[in-house]
With several copies, the nearest count.
Chain A
Amino acid sequence: MKLIRAIIKPERLHAVKDRLNEVGIKGMTVSEVKGFGHQKGKTEFYRGNPVQVHFLPKIQIFLAVTDDKKDEVINVITEAARTGKYGDGKIFVNNLEEVVRIRTGEKGEEAL
């Protein structure tokens, strides 16, 4: 199984979630994070004077999938999250050794 972690723009969350459901992803965990990268930080103003804001709000989607689903999920997220502008985000994948469903104690793929 694989652990997929995608950092995306907040406004894309709805779209990504909907597309993932369509391809049969029944569960995911999201959290609010702040990102720093090519995309420049924003300039806000305080009483007419500029203030640099370095970190930008992003959403992290955290998703465990079976190996066979991996590529499909990556493609789905890439498409749904893309705006073509800097700051679209990244997808990180690594190996997942074990999963347990707390409610039932089920282990492995059927716990997903």
Chain B
Amino acid sequence: MNGANTAWILTSSALVLFMTLPGLGLFYAGLVKSRNTISTLAQCYGIAAVASVVWFVAGYSIAFSGENNYIGDLSKAFLSGVSLKSLSGDIPEILFVMFQMTFAIITPALIVGAYVERIKFSAVLFISTLWILAVYAPVTHWIWGGGWLADMGVFDFAGGLVVHATAGVSAIVIVKVLGPRVGFPQYFDPPHSPVIAMTGAAMLWVGWFGFNGGSALAANANAGMAILVTHISAATATLVWMFIDWYKNGKPGLVGIITGTIAGLATVTPASGFIGPMGGFILGLLSGSICYFAVGFIKFKLNIDDSLDVMAVHGVGGILGTLLAGILASGTFGGLGLEKTVFDQTMVQLIGVIAVVVFTAIVTYVICIITKSLFGLRVAEEQEISEGLDLGTHGEQSYRF
């Protein structure tokens, strides 16, 4: 066992948990209407709790056990057989379980942004439980658990496919079944607190050092490079988004600025272990602009109320980064090099994207239909437009100054 690597992954586990709680929770809560603040936080928080237990019970085993190429088995259910002695690589397996658990927490929580302000809390918990078992764990097995995409040598360093693509695609599917918020797109309230949203975004940025840096599973130059390219992509995308906004609307909004950051972070995630600083810079330029237009396109052209733009930011970003990982890994762009040719690698990346998108879309759709028939998905319209989900669903008021 390597103590230094263990020290860094212990830290990374804390950082990635911090991304969801309170990071992502605040980021999303700041963007919704005041009367749905508690509801949004409770959704992220509740998912974190549910995901942890599900991961312990079966999720980890489905993702990281067995010889099967498409799905793990239940040999490690309840972490049976994971002792103090078991290692994965040169860190304790129990720590690897913990680190991976924080990924299993944030991924379904990312989807919250799609269905806030109208969904039933029970539906959120139920959908997330099934989703982790039937979508997240299998895809993780394919890519990180020694499954078929791993065999093909797909590049997904920290989860462009496993995390962001699955979350983005599911966002669209769920919204299609759930429907838009009442009044969308005519009546459209601005975020109730960019201050809170910025606080969350900044926490996500910081936590991402553990997300991408920790995915090196070691405290070495690889981890160092990962956080540097991650940071450069984030900073660059922030500026790109800001300047487009400034140019288009005359004003650089803070909500736009922080959204650029998240776009840059999501996009660099799959590539962060394979590229160099220049690659991070390029991904920042591309994500800041492409995700910018994706938001307007999905929301106001396609009129899909993916309320906080999970697909436009995470989905588009994660897929973009995955497709470019091979190219930017090449020496030409100062990348760390690759065994396959750039073309072959990119084909593999493409296969990975298609497989994950299609699989996720289908399974998520089935999950939504089941949940709808069992619980129903939406709160009463009166609750949605009047008291809000804070009082209606949780019986609490977010602010009492």
Asked whether the complex places CB atoms of A and B closer than 8 A, the reply is yes
Q: Which chain B residue shows the least CB distance to A53? A: B190
A45 and B249 contact, Cβ closer than 8 Å, known pairs A10-B386, A11-B385, A11-B386: yes
CB of A48 within 8 A of CB of B256, answer yes
Expressed in whole angstroms, the minimum distance between the Cβ of B287 and any Cβ of chain A is: 14
B251-266: which residues lie under 8 A (CB-CB) from chain A? 251, 253, 255-256, 259
Which of A11, A14, A42, A45 is in CB contact (< 8 Å) with B245? Answer: A45
Number of residue pairs A-B, CB distance < 8 angstroms: 57
A46 and B248 contact, Cβ closer than 8 Å, known pairs A9-B386, A10-B386, A11-B386: no
Expressed in whole angstroms, the minimum distance between the Cβ of A17 and any Cβ of chain B is: 11
CB of B397 within 8 A of CB of A47, answer no
The contact string, 1 if C-beta is below 8 Å from chain B, for chain A 71-98, is 0000000000000000000000000000
Task: Say whether chain A's binding surface is mostly helix, strand, loop, or mixed.
Answer: strand
Q: Which chain A residue shows the least CB distance to B186? A: A52
A49–B395 CA distance with the chains assembled, in angstroms: 12
Q: Which of B8-16, B60-68, B293-301, B368-376 contacts A (4 or more CB under 8 A)?
A: B293-301
A43 and B245 contact, Cβ closer than 8 Å, known pairs A11-B385, A49-B295: no
Which of B299, B382, B391, B396 is in CB contact (< 8 Å) with A49? Answer: B299
Which of B187, B300, B309, B395 is in CB contact (< 8 Å) with A45? Answer: B395
Q: Which residues of A contact B249 (CB under 8 A)?
A: 45, 48, 50
Q: Which residues of B contact A49 (CB under 8 A)?
A: 295-296, 299-300
Expressed in whole angstroms, the minimum distance between the Cβ of A15 and any Cβ of chain B is: 10
Which of B189, B255, B387 is in CB contact (< 8 Å) with A47? Answer: B255
In the complex, B191 has a CB within 8 A of chain A: yes
A51 and B189 contact, Cβ closer than 8 Å, known pairs A11-B385, A44-B396, A45-B256: yes
CB of A44 within 8 A of CB of B295, answer no
Q: Which residues of A contact B296 (CB under 8 A)?
A: 47-49
CB of A46 within 8 A of CB of B292, answer no
Which of B190, B241, B385, B391 is in CB contact (< 8 Å) with A46? Answer: B190
Interface size on A, residues (CB 8 A): 15
In the complex, B343 has a CB within 8 A of chain A: no
Q: Which residues of A contact B292 (CB under 8 A)?
A: 47-48
Q: Which residues of B contact A14 (CB under 8 A)?
A: 187
Q: What 5 new A-B contacts, CB under 8 Å, besides A42-B391, A48-B244, A49-B296? A: A14-B187, A44-B190, A46-B253, A47-B292, A48-B253
26 intermolecular pairs with C-beta atoms under 8 Å apart: A9-B386, A11-B382, A11-B385, A11-B387, A45-B245, A45-B249, A45-B251, A45-B253, A45-B256, A45-B396, A46-B188, A46-B253, A46-B255, A47-B253, A47-B256, A47-B259, A48-B241, A48-B244, A48-B248, A48-B253, A48-B256, A48-B295, A49-B295, A51-B188, A51-B189, A51-B190
Residues on A facing B (Cβ under 8 Å): 9-11, 14, 42-51, 53
Residues on B facing A (Cβ under 8 Å): 187-191, 241, 244-245, 248-249, 251, 253, 255-256, 259, 292, 295-296, 299-300, 309, 382, 385-387, 391, 395-397
